[in-house]
Structure 1
Amino acid sequence: MSSGPDPRPDRPIFVFGCPRSGTTLLQLMLHSHPRVAIPVETKFLLPAYTARCEFGDLEVRENRRALADWITGDRTTKFHALGLDAAEVADEIVAAPPTLGSALGVVLRAYARRFGKPRWGDKRPSYFRHADALLRMFPDAQFVHLIRDGRDCVASLQEMPWYGQDFHHAVCVWREAIDHGRRLSARLGSDAYYELQYERLVADPADELARLCGFLGEEFDPAMTHPGGVAKETVSPRKKWHGRTKDAVTTSRVGAWAQRLDSWQISLAEAAFGERLAEYGYEPSGLPKPSTSQLTRFAKVSAHRRMAQRKAALRERWKQHHEPNPVECLLTPAPAHTS
């Protein structure tokens, strides 16, 4: 049961999870709430943060203008999908406090304002890897982690036209999402981090969404359980892999891994996931353990990914040492929504 609206009415909300875990469905459910606006998926938060040193000192108006023009004008940012006036938003960024978080917050706030809503945020599966960056920009953010049976996630990932890596990498992604989530939970606690499971969400949307609303400090709205209408308006028809979001919520894809994965893939995934599956209530297949050669190959892929992530962390520390401005969002809270 919700205790009423959060006293900070525009506290950002970030949704993440392993790709193909249902984050788009959850985003649409949240966007169906009368006080919450979450776009389908933007492509400017992380690239802007990564390139923050290149934009220079944001105390300089011309640099804020260049940042604003990149966000609103570059096709890679997906700004055009938000349905906002580029010139108006660019001017608002230039007039905002001179920090990267403020500039990005202006865009998300403008998107929420388009729908007359005070709460704003974003959804991107890979945010589980970048929570530190998001927290630096939005220290009061709330994180929602959607978890799905890892075998279903990797089965679906393998079928995506945009996924270019092999099965071993896909298995690593789910395991990394779970482990990052655990660390973030321990760091943030129950006020700022929340987990829910896809299987329960599609089985009983009203109950799961009511609990989620309690975490967010919002009243549950039944419209959240019927996101198909929002999906038809906002999900691109080109994204065939999101086609089911336009239909009624269903459990039909739960456990589909049993038909979509080969026996060796199931065995390898279960061995790699270890106790993580059981801890979320996912039943093992009972298949024999994978071969030594498969386990060795997986270990090599996993080690390679860990090395790449360590190198990325070193680059990030260097950038933090050289960034020209604070990055924290300094926007004042939006007025409370009274309707």
Structure 2
Amino acid sequence: MSLARNLNRALTATTGLQVRRAARPAKGRTTTAPRSAGRPEATYRRPSAEDLATDRLLRRPVFVISSIRSGSTLLRMMLGAHPRLHAPHELHLGRMEVDCVNWFSRRAMSALGLERGDLEHLLWDRVLHRELVRAGKDFVVEKTPANVYMYRRLKDCWPDARFVFLLRHPESIARSWHESDPVKRPYDKAVGEVLPYLAAVEEARAADADGFTVRYEDITAGPEREMRRLCAFLGVDYEPAMLHYGERSGGELVRGLGDWRDTIRTGTVQPGRALPGEGEVPEALRPACAAWGYPS
């Protein structure tokens, strides 16, 4: 039984939650994305290799797939310091939707072979390509944590996309999420809120044998080593500037679009928190620890 299935079974037993992976459509067929509240499902097709030249402006985008509070903003800042990589703030592509408001527009787009999901993909592609051109770089990196719930759709939108899976000790994730708003989010509540992210990360990681896995703890302990590994995966030369990405002001790091606190504003990699001690990991997080090779 796969690690992802083991993790999902454990999460279901402890929380009643389970993350299901959407089936991949057969070649030439359409698939549907999860529906938003009050909206019909978005139907789309996965462009073939021959169609990519006309259907997508953006080529070989990079998506960081992680839970909340996993250090993805730090990784974004380090990657964005590379002269060939553009890593904007979180873009929340999944919340950008397109609609044809009447029968005529739906029929017109359908006659072009474009359903609502296809139109959304064209919009996403144009937004990312616009930012890449403005930056004057070669590849875009996107790191919105909610991307973990739309991994399959990102893969269908950009068949040549590359995925970086960022892991962190599950208890550290929950602890950091709790500390970001301890009054609103007691620790037990924080644990429950990160569990679906952990399951979804493992589902995506199990589905992508070509992806690259990196740990937050390894980045903070040996940043040069890990950035050299990651650069090799992305096919770019290592750049020392990635370790000192530069100080940032409050106006540059905005709450809701990634980490905005003092540590990330320093412009360099800071030591990570110590791993939890024996007996400090809640029972609900132990399956994720086992799946990712962390002590619990």
Same topology, TM > 0.5: yes
User: TM tier, shorter chain?
Assistant: 0.5 to 0.7
Residues 128 and 180 in structure 1, CA contact (< 8 A), matched pair in contact too = yes
Query: What are the equivalent positions in structure 2 for 1:225-304 lying under 5 Å apart?
Result: 225-229=243-247, 234-236=252-254, 241-247=260-266, 248-255=268-275, 266-267=280-281, 269=282, 271-278=283-290, 280-284=292-296
Amino acid of the structure 2 residue aligned with 1:35? R
* Larger fraction in helix: 1
Q: Does 1:109 align with 2:107?
A: no
Return the alpha-carbon distance in structure 2 between the equivalents of residues 114 and 233 of structure 1: 20
Query: Deviation at 1:195?
Result: 1.4
Sequence identity percentage: 27
Select the residue among 167, 170, 174 that pairs with 1:150: 170
CA contact (8 A) 1:146 1:196 kept: yes
What is aligned with 2:146? 126
- Contact 2:61 2:139 survives alignment (8 Å): yes
Match of 1:46 among 94, 103, 111: 94
CA pair 53-201 structure 1, distance change in 2 beyond 3 A: farther
Q: Does 1:13 align with 2:62?
A: yes
| SS at structure 2 position matched to 1:235 | coil
**Counterpart of 2:230?**
212
Distance 1:234 1:57, change over 3 A: farther
- 1:232 and 1:165 mapped to 2: Cα distance? 23
In 1, are the aligned partners of 2:58 and 2:125 still within 8 Å (CA)?
Answer: no
Shift of 1:274: 2.4
Unaligned segments of structure 1, at least 5 residues: 1-7, 61-66, 68-97, 285-339
Residues 1:235 and 1:11: Cα distance change in structure 2 (over 3 Å): same
Q: Equivalents in 2 of 1:42, 1:22: separation in Å?
A: 17
Question: Which has the higher relative contact order, 1 or 2, with Cα contacts under 8 A spaced 6 or more apart?
Answer: 1
For residues 81 and 168 of structure 2, the distance between their equivalents in structure 1, rounded to whole angstroms, comes to 22
- The TM-score, its normalising length taken from structure 1, stands at 0.58
Secondary structure of 1:228 counterpart: coil
C-alpha RMSD over aligned residues:
3.4
The answer on whether the counterparts of 2:169 and 2:294 sit within 8 Å (CA) in structure 1 is yes
Q: Give, in whole Å, the separation in 2 of the partners of 1:230 and 1:58.
A: 48
Equivalent pairs counted in the alignment come to 229
Q: Tell me what 2:15 maps to.
A: none
TM superposition score normalised by structure 2: 0.66
User: SS of the counterpart of 1:209?
Assistant: helix
The corresponding residue for 2:85 is: 36
Q: Deviations over 1:240-267 (max 9, x none)?
A: 8432112231214333x66xxxx99x35
Q: Find the counterpart in structure 1 of residue 72 from structure 2.
A: 23
The Cα shift of 1:169 comes to 4.6
Task: Name the aligned partner's letter for residue 48 of structure 1.
Answer: M
User: Is 2:159 aligned against 1:136?
Assistant: no
Deviations 1:64-92 (A, max 9, x none): xxx9xxxxxxxxxxxxxxxxxxxxxxxxx
Shift of 1:28: 0.8
CA distance in structure 2 between the aligned counterparts of 1:153 and 1:37, rounded to whole angstroms:
26
